[in-house]
Amino acid sequence: MDTELQMSPQLEQIDGEIRDNFRALANGFQKLDKIKDPNRQSKQLEELTGKMRECKRLIKEFDREIKDEESGNPPDVNKQLNDKKQSLIKELNSYVALRKTYMSSLGNKRVELFDMGAGGGDPTAEDNVQVASSMSNQELINAGTKTMDETDQVIERSKKVVEQTIEVGGQTAVTLKGQTEQMGRIVNELDTIQFSIKKASQLVKEIGRQVATDKCIMLFLFLLVCGVIAIIIVKIVNPNNKDIRDIPGLAPPAPARRLLSLKATEPFK
């Protein structure tokens, strides 16, 4: 498949680097069989572990390149590239399993999990790597005690955070209650203001009606006075006009007064 598969220059370069690392891993495990010193074996295993991490990084980069070029490749080429990636993952897992075997034979407590099987294309699955350092029993106990102390400290900090959160929540509740009461008072005041505005509007309308009535009465009286004044002026200017009757209570014109005075004094004469 490798000879028939057409890859881009970037993929070919990455594939070549992975192959170089795989060859180095194969040679390293062959040398490991010849080493009898446990310390040298542990050192050799650490070097091989570094090679495995580098292979894992390159396989991730290979997967990214496949995804970048996926839109420009035919479906069959994409399938072949994915199969190529899975074969690289399986080969890497075989070296991981071989490394676990050597670690068990050395009696170390180091465990490394490469979760890159059928779901190797999933980034979360590829990143699921957990490594525990090689330790003696006493070192493991000390590390466990330290971890427990750190956990206790984290729990204490969490308790403080919870207490602070509860306190802040109580203060917030009191503040919200005060704001709710204040809003209630504002609403009541607005209702009172609205009622006062309605009463004022009714009062203004009533005053307007009263003022209109008073104006009508004043206008009627004004017209009446003007009419009386006009009649008086006409009687003064033209006293012989019989079309206008005398106004009751108003003295007759001067000639009539003279005629009345003559008639009154005539019997004495």
How far apart (Å, rounded) are the C-alpha atoms in residues 83 and 91? 12
Asked if 70 and 16 sit in the same domain, the reply is yes
Asked if 65 and 179 sit in the same domain, the reply is yes
Asked if 189 and 202 sit in the same domain, the reply is no
Asked if 79 and 184 sit in the same domain, the reply is yes
Task: Quickly count: other Cβ atoms within 10 Å of residue 7's Cβ.
Answer: 20
Asked if 102 and 218 sit in the same domain, the reply is no
Task: Quickly count: other Cβ atoms within 10 Å of residue 63's Cβ.
Answer: 22
- The pLDDT of residue 248 is 57
Residue 7 lies in a domain: yes
How far apart (Å, rounded) are the C-alpha atoms in residues 124 and 113? 14
Asked if 75 and 21 sit in the same domain, the reply is yes
CATH code of residue 72: 1.20.58
Q: Comparing 117 with 204, which gets the higher pLDDT?
A: 204
| pLDDT score of 39 more than 50 | yes
Sort residue 120 into left (φ over 0), alpha (ψ -120 to 50) or beta: alpha
Residue 20 lies in a domain: yes
Overall average pLDDT of the 39-59 stretch:
88
Asked if 228 and 98 sit in the same domain, the reply is no
How far apart (Å, rounded) are the C-alpha atoms in residues 215 and 222? 10
Residue 50 lies in a domain: yes
C-alpha torsion sign, points 141, 144, 149, 150: positive
Asked if 204 and 180 sit in the same domain, the reply is no
Task: Quickly count: other Cβ atoms within 10 Å of residue 84's Cβ.
Answer: 18
Quick: pLDDT tens for 154-178: 898 888 899 899 989 888 999 998 8
Overall average pLDDT of the 192-197 stretch:
85
If you average pLDDT over every residue of the chain, what do you get? 77
Residues paired with 129 in a beta bridge: 114
Residue 256 lies in a domain: no
- pTM to 2 decimal places: 0.40
How many domains does one find in the chain? 2
Overall average pLDDT of the 53-62 stretch:
91
Residue 244 lies in a domain: no
Residue range of the domain that includes 202: 198-239
> Per mean pLDDT, which range of 57-71, 155-169, 176-190, 236-250 is the poorest?
236-250
| pLDDT score of 131 more than 60 | no
Q: Comparing 116 with 103, which gets the higher pLDDT?
A: 103
Tokens linked to 148: 């427990």
How far apart (Å, rounded) are the C-alpha atoms in residues 266 and 97? 168
Asked if 107 and 3 sit in the same domain, the reply is yes
Q: Coil, strand, or helix at residue 130?
A: strand
Please report which confidence band the pLDDT of residue 130 belongs to, taking 50, 70 and 90 as the band edges: very low
Asked if 86 and 35 sit in the same domain, the reply is yes
Range list of H helices, the chain: 9-34, 38-69, 75-106, 123-126, 137-237, 254-265
Q: Which residue, 112, 91, 90, is CA-closest to 45?
A: 112
Asked if 185 and 52 sit in the same domain, the reply is yes
Asked if 91 and 43 sit in the same domain, the reply is yes
- Percentage of the chain with pLDDT > 70? 74
Residue 233 lies in a domain: yes
Residue 53 lies in a domain: yes
Tokens linked to 166: 């509860």
Residue 87 lies in a domain: yes
Please report which confidence band the pLDDT of residue 17 belongs to, taking 50, 70 and 90 as the band edges: very high
